[in-house]
Amino acid sequence: MPSTRSARTTLVVGLASLTLVLAACSQNGTSTTSANAGTPTKGGTLQILATADVDHIDPTQGGSIAGNNVQHAVTRSLLGYQSSMDLATRNKLRPDLATAVPEPTDNGLTYTYTIRDGADWDAPSGARQINSADFARGVALMCNPYMASPRLGYVLDLIKGMADFCAAFAKIDPTAPAIKKYLDTHTISGIDTSDPKTVVVHLVKPAGDFNYMVTLPAMAPQPEEALQYLPDSLDYKRNFVASGPYTVGSYSPNQQLTLVRNKAWKASTDPLRKAYVDKIHIEQGVTPQAAMQQLQSGDGDLTYDITMPAATLQQLSAAKDDHLVTFDTGATSFIWFNTLSDNNGGALKKLKVRQALEYAVDKKALVQQLGGPLTSSPQHGILGPGINGYHNFSPYPSPGDAGDPAKAKQLLAAAGYPNGLTLKLPYSTADPNPALVQILQASFGKAGVTLKLMPENPVDATKIITDKKGAAAGNWDLGMIGWQADWVGGAARAVFGTLYTYNGTPQTYNLADYDNPAADKLAEQAEATTDSAKSAELWQQVDDKVMADPPIIPTYARKSVLYYSKRVQNYQIYPIGSQADWTNLWLKS
């Protein structure tokens, strides 16, 4: 399987992420709207507009940024985040089911969580207290043999006994009875549940960011009723047992999902959710154009997975509409070098060639194409804004970030390529990528590099650049990707570990098996410390080390920009959902 330093976060092939939209307003997450004013009002149905079905209702399987919003409404984790328009406020860890955010003990190897009294499951037999065994069950289900969690890699080799538990679990039949029998007779040695109100987790090595991992829906407790069904099956979804303020009222795949109030939930036990609206209705199959019309008319309130059309953005920006909001998510876009290929005499394997190409890209033009500095900003390293360790350095500077083709040409000649290169660039034809690759083709051309553009549908574009055999065969030279980490704040592990580490076993999103032992050593120190300032300093050094031996050309950091209806009040950003917090807004009648 992929390197267990981390599992997949959010990948989008092409320079524009489908989870992000274009922008107006400020970095910190502000708007000129008065949506935060007024007296809270209970009631009404929040109308969410979606193109596709929700990916998962089973929290263990949660894998998308958009899907985290559903999970936040129906599932509680031990820890979470306070939704806010302020970046520092929303990035700070908060207790959810736990009574406090714990400090690690035993030299960073042990984390202890106390579960709140009165936090209940909406069980068929009546409200039932959530306990430590429920947390252990949730973690155990991450490696079930029917559908393993995409977040398993974060904890597989981190929690004591997890690897052995999962190795044996993988050998059983992928059926609900077999899964239940295994979980009823086996435990993870590193999770102590002897006290129903206390979870004690023992780690193999110190991990200063373990509390951040605990915020993920995949690490949420699971009720005993979950074992009656296959993970995330239709039966599971229709018999869902909730811990959050809402539960599944009705669900029709690819049509709609309606969330209704969870009668077992008590506001007094939940410091993060107020649950003002009565229902949340997610209508699926809505086009971006139709969604924007419905938001403006008031027939819809928020979008789920929909990118704002460029024409709509221009219209709303020109009108200075105060229901546009933007914020940093840590998402970045970049171009991979295929160093596995022997194309051009193995040119991309040569450090001097890669460093030369760093100067070729006109990042200013890319940002301008996306809508200017309110939508994105030039990116120079592997960590995006808002992630602990981000620093706005520029190891390959150019005037105004417009590229330096003369220097790129000079360095290419010095590296043995005075006549330039011809490089293959597959890309997704989803907007706005076709316009962006034209900019890339022009800027590389000025540096004497010819880009052979390979337009592909999004699925095929992904397949091409994640196929290691195809990479070694030279099927591509440059690969375009957008990336967003699973959590916020202390999320550098979710970027570096997934993309830029190699332990001999290829992992999907390290496209060229990039390996940097010096950066790895610094990352291990950064992951072990609980000192946020020290961690940031170490991650900055990791970024410096990687960009000195670059596997990528960073292009830009994208801001998430959304539009919401005039009914929506108290618009506050839920950070790992990159959206307004459905559980804390109310509706104006």
Hey, what are 504's tokens?
Answer: 């001999």
Query: What letter would DSSP give residue 587?
Result: E
By residue count, the chain amounts to 589
Residue spans of the domains in the chain: they are 55-280, 327-560
Measured at the CA of 463, the angle between CA 462 and CA 464, to 5 degrees, comes to: 95
The H-or-E segment that residue 579 falls in is: strand 579-580
Q: What is the pLDDT of residue 37?
A: 58
In order, the DSSP letters of 370-393 are: HTSTTTEEE--SSSPTTBTT----
575-to-80, 93, 330, 502 alpha-carbon distances in Å? 10, 11, 10, 29
pLDDT score of 26: 33
Judge whether residue 22 has pLDDT over 80.
no
Count CB atoms within 10 A of the CB of residue 503. Answer: 13
pLDDT surpasses 90 at 240 = yes
What confidence tens digit (pLDDT) does each residue in 67-95 have? 999 999 999 999 999 999 998 999 999 99
Domains 55-280 and 327-560 share a fold: no
Separation of alpha carbons 553 and 538, rounded Å? 21
Share of the chain above pLDDT 70, in %: 94
Give the helix/strand (H/E) hosting 89.
Answer: helix 87-91
| Cα 413 versus chain centre, distance | 40
Is the pLDDT at 468 greater than 90? The verdict is yes
Q: Which tokens go with 324?
A: 């546009």
Q: Is the pLDDT of residue 322 over 60?
A: yes
Q: What is the rounded CA–CA span in Å between residue 70 and residue 78?
A: 17
Q: Is the pLDDT of residue 33 over 50?
A: no
Buried b (16+ CB within 10 A) or exposed e, 196-207: eeebbbbbeebb
Tell me the C-alpha to C-alpha distance, in Å, between residue 5 and each of 111, 299, 371.
19, 45, 36
Q: Are strands 279-283 and 302-303 parallel, antiparallel or unpaired?
A: unpaired
Name the nearest CA neighbour of 262 among 58, 73, 80: 73
Query: What is the pLDDT at residue 3?
Result: 34
| Cβ-based burial of 86 (10 A; exposed 0-12, middle 13-18, buried ≥19) | middle
Task: Please report where in the chains the tokens 């239940």 appear, as a residue.
Answer: 180
Give the separation between CA 409 and CA 356, rounded to whole angstroms.
Answer: 7
Q: Which fold has domain 327-560?
A: Dipeptide-binding Protein; domain 3 (3.10.105)
Provide the 3-class DSSP secondary structure of residue 554.
Answer: strand
What is the CA 422 to chain-centroid distance, rounded? 34
pLDDT of res. 23: 23
Q: Where are the beta strands (DSSP E) in 465-551?
A: 478-484
Of all helices (H) and strands (E), which one includes residue 472?
A: helix 468-472
Which residue from 425, 195, 430 is spatially nearest to 307, judged by alpha carbons?
Answer: 430
Would you say 286 and 268 are in contact if contact means Cβ atoms under 8 Å apart?
no
- Fold (CATH) for 55-280: D-Maltodextrin-Binding Protein; domain 2 (3.40.190)
So what's the pLDDT on residue 25? 30
Q: What is the Cα–Cα distance from 161 to 171, expressed in whole angstroms? A: 16
> Which amino acid belongs to residue 158?
L
Question: pLDDT tens digits for 186-216?
Answer: 999 999 999 999 999 999 999 999 999 999 9
Phi first, then psi, for residue 238 (nearest 5°) are -80, -10
- Selected residue with higher pLDDT from 583 and 306: 583
Output the pLDDT for position 18. 32
Are residues 169 and 145 in contact, defined by beta-carbon separation less than 8 angstroms? yes
Angle between helices 288-297 and 310-318 (to 10 degrees): 30
The answer to whether residue 340 scores a pLDDT higher than 50 is: yes
Amino acid identity, position 318: A
DSSP one-letter code for 399 = G
For residues 522 and 534, give the distance between their C-alpha atoms in angstroms, rounded to a whole number: 11
Separation in Å, CA 551 to CA 205, 358, 500, 521: 28, 10, 8, 18
For the chain, give the longest Cα–Cα distance: 76
CA atoms of 87 and 572, how far apart (whole Å):
11
Which DSSP string corresponds to 261-298?
A: E-TT--GGG-SS----SSEEEEE-S--HHHHHHHHHHT
The C-alpha angle 218, 525, 381, rounded to 5 degrees, equals 80
Q: What is the mean pLDDT of residues 374-397?
A: 94
pLDDT of residue 36: 52
Smallest CA-to-CA distance from 40 within 277, 301, 295, 279 is with: 277
Q: CA gyration radius for the chain? A: 24
Query: Does position 244 have pLDDT exceeding 90, yes or no?
Result: yes
- Dist. CA 533–CA 391, nearest whole Å: 13
pLDDT at 16 over 60: no
Q: How far is Cα 422 from Cα 478, in angstroms, rounded to an integer?
A: 11
Q: Is-contact 447 412, C-beta < 8 A? A: yes
The overall average pLDDT reported for the chain is 92
> Phi and psi at residue 545, in whole multiples of 5°?
-65, -45
Give alpha helix (H) positions in 3-74. 67-74
Between the alpha carbon of residue 455 and those of residues 42, 277, 400, the distances in Å are: 49, 44, 29
513-562 pLDDT, tens digit per residue, is 999 999 999 999 999 998 999 999 999 999 999 999 999 999 999 988 89
The Cα 12–Cα 436 span in angstroms is: 15
Pull the structure tokens for residue 107. Answer: 């030299």
The residues facing 335 across adjacent strands are: 480, 553
Tokens 């540096």 -> residue: 447
Per residue in 349-360, pLDDT (tens digit) is 999 999 999 999
DSSP state of 77: -
Strand partners, 449: 421
